[in-house]
Amino acid sequence: MAEKSERASDEEVRETAEMILDARYPIALTGAGMSVESGIPPFRGPGGLWTKYGEPPMNGFQRFMADPKKAWEERLSKRNDELFKPLTVAKPNAGHLALADLERLGVLRFMITQNIDDLHRQAGQKALAEIHGNWTLIRCLDCTTRFHGDAISLEKLPPECPRCGGLLKSDTVSFGEPIPGDVLNMCAEHSALADLVIVAGTSATVYPAAGFALEVKQRGGILIEVNLYESEITQVCDVSLRGTSADVLSRLVSAVGEIRREKLS
Ligand SMILES: [Zn+2]
């Protein structure tokens, strides 16, 4: 299956839907490919924002901690940049909506996303770990409470946590910043229960997110890849469905619904 680059056939989609329905605890791992389909440019690769503007400093978190006021001022001055603009106008695509439907059907139990764009939440996903944070949220570095951006006054910088007075930072995880423990714990807890992972729009090579998917595979679970292209993990996947997330995931979730109805009738 690794070689093919043609759009997944209806038969492959249906067989995969059967596997998902047979699983006890399916989870999903999503990445930048899903955001790209909603018009958000990727960071890496040709046409990527980092390729164009240079990578952000690898010690972004240390720089924030050294001078939080300056870091906040820099962030606010970039609000209208090419980096932020696509995030403000992006809408969930059919792939986001399909995964939210799969959760509503009671089939998908948990999702880990590497995306910071808020689109899974906007699509209605509830059991969700945003492993790199969420750009619309502000997080207290002391008590880890998250606040919606609009709920925090930015008149005085850096802003203070309304709950504990601690230092507030964008929830988006900076380079050099530890991934918040509450998020990591959720991921570990749910991936330990999982026996199937749908990997969509990511080559699953960025750790720690990739580790959660591969760990399920190592325990004998099933790995399903949904990606336009062959990726670094294609070789270890049980199924690779080629196509956009919007196309493949919506067909996959329709098939899950159909099979369920057939079984009931
Ligand atoms: Zn706090």
What's the whole-model pTM score?
0.93
pLDDT of residue 75: 87
CA of 148 to the centre of ligand 1 (A): 13
Q: Which comes out higher in pLDDT, residue 44 or 133?
A: 133
pLDDT at 2 exceeding the cut of 60 = no
pLDDT of residue 109: 98
250: left (phi over 0), alpha (psi -120 to 50) or beta: alpha
DSSP for 74-110, please give it: HHHHTTTSTTTHHHHH----HHHHHHHHHHHTT---E
What are 81-101's pLDDT values in tens digits? 777 888 999 999 999 999 999
- Residue 23: which of 120, 151, 109, 146 has the closest Cα? 109
96: Cα within 13 Å, side-chain hemisphere? 25
Query: Which residue of the set 120, 132, 148, 190 is catalytic?
Result: 132
CA of 159 to the centre of ligand 1 (A): 11
CA of 147 to the centre of ligand 1 (A): 10
- Residue 170 backbone dihedrals phi, psi, to 5 degrees: -55, 145
CA of 60 to the centre of ligand 1 (A): 21
Alpha-carbon span 259 to 14, nearest angstrom: 8
Percent of all residues in the chain with a pLDDT value above 70, rounded to a whole number: 97
- Residue 130: which of 90, 177, 86, 179 has the closest Cα? 179
What are 124-178's pLDDT values in tens digits? 999 999 999 999 999 999 999 999 999 999 999 999 999 999 999 999 999 999 9
Quote the tokens at residue 164: 């504990």
Chain mean pLDDT for the chain: 92
Q: Which comes out higher in pLDDT, residue 236 or 44?
A: 236
Pairing label, strands 128-130, 146-148: unpaired
CA of 166 to the centre of ligand 1 (A): 5
What's the mean pLDDT in 56-67? 90
Alpha-carbon span 56 to 183, nearest angstrom: 23
Q: In the annotation, is 148 catalytic?
A: no
CA 97 to chain centre: 14
Helix (H) or strand (E) holding 170, with range, is: strand 168-170
Q: Which of 28-32, 49-53, 66-70 has the lowest mean pLDDT?
A: 49-53
pLDDT at 1 exceeding the cut of 60 = no
Q: Which comes out higher in pLDDT, residue 36 or 83?
A: 36
CA of 227 to the centre of ligand 1 (A): 39
Q: Which of 5-9, 38-42, 100-104, 105-109 has the lowest mean pLDDT?
A: 5-9
Angle at which helix 181-193 crosses helix 209-218, to 10 degrees, equals 20
| DSSP state for residue 56 in the 8-state scheme | P
